[in-house]
Structures are given as C-alpha cells and as structure tokens.
Amino acid sequence: MDRINAFGGWIRDPEADERVMSRLFAGPFGQNKRKTTAERIRFVTPDVALVVVHVITNAGPSGVKAPSLGDRSLHVLVKHNGEWELTGFANVPIIPPSGAIREAEGDDVFYSDPKH
C-alpha cells in the first residue's frame, strides 16, 4: 500500500502504515473523535474501486486541531481472492481558497457537502 498523508509524507508499506497509525492513535490522536463518510464509490472495474472519504475530526484533550471542514481522502481498493484491500490512499485537509482561485473554480468545485 502507498499512503500519502495530509502533510505530504509517504508511507510505503503496510507494516510501516500499521506502526505509524498505532503510534498516532496511542498518542496525539488518542482521544480524537471522528465522523467518516464515504461520499462516493466508483467501480473502475468489478475488482477496483475508488472511494472518496470525508472525515471531520473533533480534537480531544490532546489538543490536536483539525481543519474545521475536515479532510478528504481518495482510497484505491482492489479485490484479491474475494476480499477488498486498500492499496493506495491520499489525504488532504479541506481549506477552501479565496479570491481569484475560488472565482475561477465557480460552482464546479465543492468543499463541503450539506448532507454531512
């Protein structure tokens, strides 16, 4: 698996990902509460799916703050022997631009979904 985190860091294998996630959730993210919503699932083939996920995190006592609109990630899942495996992941904080960039995007780019 390849994971690109919200800071641009690259985690290159599942064992490293498990170690990093274990340390983060035992430490700075230990008390955070998260609301996770799959916003879209698109099957590229019957065995490959792209999933857009929106996560809103409420900081726990650790004080680790998250962007107010949360993060959005793209998960790449591949089915092997009837089981779905996460093979790729990229995550970015939702920080809407302002000014000329936002004007150029118009209504074609959305940063929050009123359904969530």
**98-115: pLDDT as tens digits:** 889 889 988 888 777 666
Is pLDDT above 90 for 83? yes
CATH number assigned to the domain with residue range 2-94, chosen from the 4 options 3.40.50.300, 3.10.450.50, 3.55.40.20, 3.30.390.30: 3.10.450.50
Q: Which residue has the higher pLDDT, 97 or 57?
A: 97
Instruction: Give the model's pLDDT for residue 65.
Output: 64
Is pLDDT above 90 for 4? no
Please write down the HEC assignment for all residues of 50-96.
EEEEEEEEECCCCCCCCCCCCEEEEEEEEEECCEEEEEEEEEEECCC
Instruction: Give the model's pLDDT for residue 115.
Output: 63
Is the torsion defined by CA of 77, 80, 85, 86 positive or negative?
A: negative
